[in-house]
Amino acid sequence: MKRTRIQPNIDGYPAEFQALLRSSEVWDSSSSPEARVLFLDRDGGYYLKSALKGTLAREADMTRYFHTKGLASEVLSYISAEKDWLLTARVTGEDCTHAAYLADPKRLCDTTAELLRNLHSLDFSDCPVQNRNETYYETAERNYRAGHYDTSLFPDHWGYRSAEEAWQVIEAGRHLMKTDALLHGDYCLPNVMLDCWRFSGFIDLGNGGAGDRHIDLFWGAWTLNFNLKTEQYTERFFDAYGRDAVDREKLKLVAAFEVFG
């Protein structure tokens, strides 16, 4: 996880966080333009995330929920004012893009597959987000209507020749999406934390909820391809997860959703 030491203008932060910021070494740990993430190096560490107003509410809810299951850090504060702020305790260890984990790709593949199958085996009847499939479709439809279509992140065999082709696949197959698992929602190597190969927690849970397991399976296979720069671990990942629960046609359906963001 890349970090850059900074000296933020503390007056621009909510009063609740200013004392903590003043007493900490502050590092920028952001990985996307949609949110800023600061690592506060004190008392074991904290992460302070900020984004547009209302955009971190689901992440706060899902992180709290995963924390009750021992799968995520504690939410220490969530504030929604002129923008959203989310303060969480640091998860021990390093994410799965750390060099020590990438250096053993077979073990990394098997570990992430097994962790995902364990996550998907949990009871989700009390999950605060029960409609992940619905919001997944709504996002794809909104972006399709707006002309947002991007296949650049996906391998050729999961791509589509046009937005219309992908949308037709969604319309024909959306009824196949089941609510059969508790989802991370963005199951990629940077969002899985290990401490010397021992699982320590999930992060970035804003897309989580109860939905179709193939959303996580798609991203679990994709992240190995992307971070290891090879597709040779795709089949091993599905074997380690359990072929009994993997539908390759459903993965193609998820790919159609994902080209719309």
Active site residues per annotation: 186
d(CA 260, CA 236): 28
Q: What distance lies between CA 153 and its chain's CA centroid?
A: 15
Task: Give start and end residues of each alpha helix (H) in the chain.
Answer: 15-22, 57-68, 99-102, 105-120, 132-145, 163-173, 214-228, 234-241, 248-258
102: tokens are 């990438």
Say which residue the tokens 């070494």 belong to: 25
Distances (CA, A) of 215 to 25, 94, 153, 219, 220: 37, 24, 15, 7, 9
Contact residues for 144 (Cβ-Cβ < 8 A; gap 6+): 163, 167, 260
Nearest to 118 by CA among 75, 73, 69: 69
89: tokens are 């305790």
User: Which DSSP symbol is given to 185?
Assistant: S
